[in-house]
Amino acid sequence: MLILASSSPIRRQMLKEAGADFQVAAPGCDEDLVKQRHVGDGASLARRLAELKAISVAAGPDDWVIGSDSTVTVDGTRYSKPRDREEAARHLREFSGRTLELASAVALTRGGTIEWSEADVARLSVRPLSDRFIDNYLDAEWPDVGYCVGVFRMEGRGVTLFDRIEGSHFTILGMPLLPLLGALRQRGVLAS
């Protein structure tokens, strides 16, 4: 069995559209504690969180579990999902005219052991955002973007925040899908 340890609808959609047969289970790890204790860049944190999410799901000894996570860093400051709309607006004002470094990672576990993991980084240049734009954007996108680190969904109006994007579309959506599909084919979970 293949299990996705994520409550993210976009991660479920990516796997489903790739033709994977899987079940979903909510991960049970304390992300805040891991973030507080982490020393390193956003990619290493995203990888650690992805691994912990996958390990946290109870599964059979032959089941494969996928964990995934993303981080956003701007000029050395790491951002979490906003707690409320006010914090979301503050994040967007702080992102205005700057570059987001978005790291997404994915991990595969089997029998409670990490078998494989990978992290990827994308860079997204945020255009200058006016307070009026931010208010209108949040009127249209809140509360959906409250569940997203970076306060955007590329499958929504998030694309309007950026002037330039460098990196994998799947990484930006929240999971390095192509490397994951390759890892699943190598292990015989998906047909090659």
Q: Residues with catalytic annotation?
A: 69
Q: Dump the DSSP string for 84-132.
A: SHHHHHHHHHHHTTSEEEEEEEEEEEETTEEEEEEEEEEEEEEPP--HH
Residue at token pair 């032959």 = 62
User: How would you classify the pairing of strands 77-79 and 64-74?
Assistant: antiparallel
Q: Which of 57, 142, 73, 74 is nearest to 108 (CA)?
A: 57
Q: Which of 176, 166, 155 is nearest to 69 (CA)?
A: 176
The answer to whether residues 108 and 63 touch, using CB atoms and an 8 Å cutoff, is no
From the CB of residue 103, how many other CB atoms can be counted at a distance below 10 Å?
25
The answer to whether residues 27 and 106 touch, using CB atoms and an 8 Å cutoff, is no
